[in-house]
């Protein structure tokens, strides 16, 4: 049985592979049947922000040491700045720092606030 951190890493990889495959090749390799319901909940959640890849990576980079000290636990780094939608911005959870399009696809992922 995988540890909690290994499971989370596995979920991040699976969610991103699924999302990228659909974006690039229009092929769905897997997507949780709960995907749309989860997306709808996240879109109404006040703990979301919209960021480009560059903005997201710049924020994460600022807290590399914090992330390292907390063994890669993204929930331990300060919240992302609140922003609205814009060009090339994706919906991100401000608590777990996951791109929602990827996170919501993985069957055994869950909301940090237990909303889904
Ligand atoms: S995963 Fe949960 S806390 Fe994060 S944006 Fe979605 S509903 Fe909100």
44: containing domain = 4-103
In a domain, 113, yes or no: no
In a domain, 75, yes or no: yes
C-alpha span between 74 and 20 (Å, rounded) = 21
Predicted pLDDT of residue 2: 65
Q: In the chain, count of helices (H) and strands (E)?
A: 5, 2
Residues in the chain with pLDDT values less than 70: 1-2
60 Cβ inside 6 Å of ligand 1: no
pLDDT tens by residue, 13-37:
888 788 888 777 777 777 889 999 9
Number of structural domains, the chain? 1
φ, ψ dihedrals at 48, nearest 5°: -115, 155
83 Cβ inside 6 Å of ligand 1: no
In a domain, 112, yes or no: no
93 Cβ inside 6 Å of ligand 1: yes
Atom 2 (ligand 1) nearest CA: 111
In a domain, 115, yes or no: no
In a domain, 14, yes or no: yes
In a domain, 12, yes or no: yes
In a domain, 108, yes or no: no
CA of 98 to the centre of ligand 1 (A): 9
Predicted pLDDT of residue 1: 55
In a domain, 72, yes or no: yes
């Amino acid at each position: 049985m995988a540890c909690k951190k290994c499971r989370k890493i596995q979920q991040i990889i699976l969610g991103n592979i699924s999302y990228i495959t659909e974006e690039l090749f229009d092929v769905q390799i897997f997507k949780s049947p709960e995907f749309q319901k989860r997306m709808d909940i996240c879109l109404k959640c006040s703990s979301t922000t919209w960021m480009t890849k560059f903005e997201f990576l710049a924020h994460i980079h600022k807290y590399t040491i914090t992330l390292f000290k907390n063994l890669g636990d993204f929930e331990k780094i300060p919240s992302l700045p609140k922003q609205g939608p814009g060009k090339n911005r994706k919906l991100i959870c401000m608590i777990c720092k996951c791109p929602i399009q990827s996170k919501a696809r993985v069957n055994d992922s869950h909301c940090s606030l237990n909303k889904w």
